[in-house]
Amino acid sequence: MSQVLDTPPPTAAAAAPAEHDLAALAARHGLSVSGARPSLPTYVRQLWARRHFIGAFSTAKLTAQYSQAKLGQVWQVMTPLLNAAVYYFIFGMLMNTSHGVEDFVPFLVTGVFVWTFTQSSIMAGTRAISGNLGLVRALHFPRAALPVSFCLQQLQQLMFSMAALVVILLAFGVPPGPSWLLAVPALVLQFVFNAGVALVMARVGSKIPDMAQLMPFLLRTWMYASGVMFSIHHMTGPDSDLPSWVGPLLQVNPAVVYIDLMRFALIDSFGGDMLPSHVWAMALGWALVAGIGGFIYFWKAEETYGRG
Amino acid sequence: MADNTPAERVPTVVVDGVDIVYRVNGTGAGRGSATAALNRILRRKKSEKASGVRRVHAVKNVSFVAYRGEAIGLIGTNGSGKSTLLKAVAGLLPVENGRIHTDGQPSLLGVNAALMNDLTGERNVYLGGLAMGMSRAQIKERYQDIVDFSGINDKGDFITLPMRTYSSGMSARLRFSIAAAKDHDVLLVDEALATGDRSFQKRSEERIRELRKHAGTVFLVSHSNKSIRDTCDRVLWLERGELRMDGPTEEVLKEYEKFTGGPDKAAKPKAAPKAAPKPAAGADSDAKAAPGTKVSA
């Protein structure tokens, strides 16, 4: 290609357009600029108009995932269960992290599932644009549909995990109660938070594809700081030797907020005293900040996503 | 041209001095080496060339005006920027310089990228339709037409099988049928006529003519001079990203045939690799996998 660029070809009788000022001609006939970014309210409307596509796309992705496996959709439940078993084997039996945590298995499995939801949403968001350039370059739709759709897929995936979780909870003798209903608002807030971060990462990942390589490390670090396999409450308690500022810092972590809310909702022995302070306000705050901020940040680059 | 009275002509697409540039990472000197990558990070503002980022100037300063009721053919040898220009008109690829003004939303005929091979043909009809912005009710209404038109069920109940079990011709037919199910203001067709077997080609040509009636303006990219002659009344000839000629079909095709050295390039196999492989090859490799049978995504 380079030699082509360096030597301009002889231009034959290229018929020049009759009109001198094409922009004026376009304006006179009320044409709009192709590929221009719509206003924010228009964008929201367009996205809402595509809600069926978002739903269908996420369900299709979910179904396609295991369609070649012999066990098929059974893997939707098997995968989270096996995940929980591995973590239980390592942290519960080999390392015995369970010290001081009641109902350690439900505690651990809830943590793993809720964390996986955030983790996979962000990973999927990072690749949402860069991994679907073919789609972006072929069809018109608000690009935010892609990251949102991937988060929705993860939410559906989580629903299967939650079904598995209920079985585990009952098997380990955690009694069902009205507090289980609190899981619903907690999940809604977490979904909004995830979607917001996924939107941010989708834009970053579309400009810097290397982020997809870097994210697993960042996410793993984040996971270990989020008390998925151990109790932050116990670690930062009065008798710990960590500096006093570490505790509050860890408890502002949105992943901790959402994980602990879910544990509080589902597990009896995980009482309100183990929750970070102002936990619902923080859950709502993180969701709003990430959701609205992420959406606007993503929309700002809407017209450039085809470039890749 | 059908309509030559300037007073009555309504422009639908105005392309004003458009440049399109692809940037490709990890090529050129020191391909993929660590030092080249480091250079790229440290000096990204200073020199893209030195840091291993290649700029591919795919479309150079192209201007034209398309009017309502026109069917415009885009011709040029492989890698001359035809599909790139079409994508920019559709607003899918950002331009480097210049502007493209359009009346309504031009749409590219093609849904390849939205479809999933692991899903059944039936679910793909819905997915593709939704991706094109149709409502569920609209798809339901046209579902039978789409399946009948594709002829997928002629040889048994294939529509309920995953698309990965289809032959390449069959899936190309289904893709075209889904894509052609929607009416468009400004319709952009990229080599769609080279789809499927002869009988299906005839049917799809007919369908494109039908779509043309509803659409304001049609753009057709094709390597078949015959289908350009059959469908278009004006032709733009792109060569190496530059607009080389713009005029009535016969005039331009005569020059083009002289340039390519043969009366009809349709007979020439299209299997030859593109002169300038698209930088996006990785991203739409699925679309490029079978050059002879694709409905371009």
The ipTM assigned to this model is 0.76
Is residue A10 predicted with pLDDT exceeding 70? Answer: no
Sign of CA dihedral A92, A96, A97, A102: positive
Range of the structural domain that residue B66 is part of: 6-109+184-293
CA distance A32 to A27: 8
Q: Is residue B87 part of a domain?
A: yes
In this prediction, residue B263 carries a pLDDT of 59
Nearest-CA distance from B297 to chain A in Å?
5
Q: Is residue A65 part of a domain?
A: yes
In this prediction, residue A156 carries a pLDDT of 93
Q: Does A57 touch chain B (CB under 8 A)?
A: yes
CA distance B10 to A87: 67
| CATH code where residue B259 lies | 3.40.50.300
**B 114-173 near A (Cβ less than 8 A):** 114, 116-119, 123, 126-127, 130-133, 135-136, 162
Is residue A32 predicted with pLDDT exceeding 70? Answer: yes
In this prediction, residue B32 carries a pLDDT of 55
Q: What is the mean pLDDT of residues A66-73?
A: 80
Q: Is residue A73 part of a domain?
A: yes
Q: Does A96 touch chain B (CB under 8 A)?
A: no
Q: Does A175 touch chain B (CB under 8 A)?
A: no
Q: Is residue B265 part of a domain?
A: yes
Residues in B closer than 8 angstroms to A63, CB to CB, are 118-119, 123
Q: Is residue A86 part of a domain?
A: yes
Q: Is residue A9 part of a domain?
A: no
Eight-class DSSP state of A8: P
Nearest Cβ partner for B245 among A12, A19, A34: A12
Residues in B closer than 8 angstroms to A134, CB to CB, are 112-113, 280, 283-284, 286-287, 297
Range of the structural domain that residue A75 is part of: 52-304
Report the residue of B53, B100, B294 to disrupt the A interface, i.e. the one with the largest count of A CBs within 10 Å: B100
Residues in B closer than 8 angstroms to A27, CB to CB, are 101
**Contact of A256 with A226, CB cutoff 8 Å:** yes
Is residue B278 predicted with pLDDT exceeding 70? Answer: no
In this prediction, residue A2 carries a pLDDT of 38
Q: Is residue A41 part of a domain?
A: no
In this prediction, residue A29 carries a pLDDT of 78
Count of CB pairs separated by less than 8 Å, A with B: 192
Q: Is residue B195 part of a domain?
A: yes
Q: Is residue A3 part of a domain?
A: no
Question: Quick check: B102 and A5 CB within 8 A?
Answer: no
Q: How far is CA A42 from CA A49, A51, B127, in A?
A: 10, 14, 24
What token pair was written down for B292?
A: 């002879």
**Contact of B191 with B199, CB cutoff 8 Å:** no
Q: Is residue A249 part of a domain?
A: yes
Q: Is residue B44 part of a domain?
A: yes
Q: How many domains does chain B have?
A: 1
Q: Which residue of A has its CA nearest to B98?
A: A23
Q: Which residue of A has its CA nearest to B118?
A: A64
Nearest-CA distance from B158 to chain A in Å?
17
Nearest Cβ partner for B243 among A14, A23, A63: A14
Question: Quick check: B242 and A11 CB within 8 A?
Answer: yes
Q: Is residue B128 part of a domain?
A: no
Sign of CA dihedral B233, B238, B242, B245: negative
Q: Of the spans A33-42, B99-108, B137-146, B256-265, which averages the highest pLDDT?
A: B137-146
Nearest Cβ partner for A137 among B92, B102, B132: B92
Q: How many domains does chain A have?
A: 1
Q: Is residue B246 part of a domain?
A: yes
pTM: 0.79
**Contact of B123 with B176, CB cutoff 8 Å:** no
More confident residue, B78 or B51: B78
Question: Quick check: A134 and B133 CB within 8 A?
Answer: no
